[in-house]
């Protein structure tokens, strides 16, 4: 099962290694990982997407809690989180096909961020399924390169008082 973990950590050297090595030790492959500072500059949030059974994952989250630099660990409930990822697609685009590609990008509210002699680079954000659909369509033209930020997520404000 796919889990999205949101891990709040002290913004210090070496913390990312401490976190990821716990996954490596268990043989879990991390599907995506995004790190950045938070509203508090001394803290960073790490969003980790990992495919794992519940029981071993629970063990890893408990181990994460034990790391001295880890402040908080949440296994986000897919129904109660908002998640986004940003992707850059560099797509083969000979001049005669540019138009088509731009149209596909528009349907998904993608933005053209670079135009080359034979390529277009499109920026897109969204949840996983939308980005997968885009990728699928761009494949027909030939994708030269993809870069993705990895998923970031926050729990929804539902339960706020």
Partner 1 sequence: MRVNGAQALVKALEAEGVDVMFGYPGGVALPIYDAIWDSGQLRHVLVRHEQGAAHAADGYARATGKTGVCLVTSGPGATNTVTGIANAYMDSIPMVVLTAQVATSVLGTDAFQEVDISGITLPITKHNFLVKNAADLPEVIKQAFHIASTGRPGPVLVDIPVDVSKGEIASFRYPETVGIPGYKPTTRGHAKQVKQAAELIAKARKPMLYAGGGVIASGAAKELKELAELMQLPVTTTLMGKGGFPEDHYLYVGMPGMHGPKYTNYAMTETDLLIAVGVRFDDRVTGKLQTFASKSKIIHVDIDPAEIGKNKPVDVPIVGDARNVLAAITAELRKMAAEPRTEKWMRVIDEWRRRFPLHYHREGAALLPQHVVERIDALTAGRDVVVATEVGQNQMWACQYHKVLGPRTWLSSGGLGTMGYGLPAAIGAQAGRPGSLVIDIAGDGSIQMKSQELATARIYDLPVKVVILNNGFLGMVRQWQELFYDRHYSQSVLSQQVPDFVKLAEAYDWLGLRVTQPGEVDEALVRAFEHDGPALVDCRVEPEENVYPMVAPGGSVDEMLGGIPGGPISDMLDEELLTEVWE
Interface residues with partner 1 (CB under 8 A)? 9-10, 13-14, 17-18, 21, 25, 59, 62-63, 65-71
Nearer to partner 1, 10 or 80 (CB): 10
Nearer to partner 1, 14 or 157 (CB): 14
Nearer to partner 1, 66 or 99 (CB): 66
At residue 49, what are phi and psi to the nearest 5 degrees? -105, 125
To partner 1, the closest distance from the beta carbon of 43 in angstroms equals 8
To partner 1, the closest distance from the beta carbon of 21 in angstroms equals 6
To partner 1, the closest distance from the beta carbon of 33 in angstroms equals 18
To partner 1, the closest distance from the beta carbon of 132 in angstroms equals 35
Q: What is the 3-state secondary structure (H, E, C) of the chain?
A: CEEEEEEEEECCCCHHHHHHHHHHHCCCCEEEEEEEECCCCCEEEEEEEEECCHHHHHHHHHHHHHCCCEEEEEEECHHHEEEEEEEEEEEECCHHHHHHHHHHHHHCCCEEEEECCCEEEEEEEECHHHHHHHHHHHHCCCEEEEEECCCEEEECHHHCC
To partner 1, the closest distance from the beta carbon of 81 in angstroms equals 22
Nearer to partner 1, 66 or 117 (CB): 66
Beta strands 2-10 and 43-51: pairing type? antiparallel
Nearer to partner 1, 71 or 137 (CB): 71
């Amino acid at each position: 099962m796919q889990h999205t973990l949101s891990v709040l950590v002290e913004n210090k050297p070496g913390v990312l290694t401490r976190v990821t090595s716990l996954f490596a030790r268990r043989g879990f492959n991390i599907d995506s990982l995004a790190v950045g500072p938070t509203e508090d500059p001394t803290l960073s949030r790490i969003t980790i997407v990992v495919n794992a059974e519940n029981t071993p994952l629970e063990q890893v989250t408990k181990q994460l809690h034990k790391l001295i630099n880890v402040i908080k660990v949440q296994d986000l409930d897919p129904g109660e989180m908002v998640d986004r990822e940003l992707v850059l697609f560099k797509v083969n685009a000979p001049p005669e096909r540019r138009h088509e590609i731009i149209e596909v990008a528009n349907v998904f509210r993608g933005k053209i961020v670079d135009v080359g002699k034979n390529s277009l680079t499109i920026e897109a954000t969204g949840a996983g399924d939308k980005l997968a659909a885009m990728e699928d369509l761009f494949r027909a033209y030939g994708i030269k390169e993809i870069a993705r930020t990895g998923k970031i997520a926050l729990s929804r404000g539902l339960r706020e008082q």
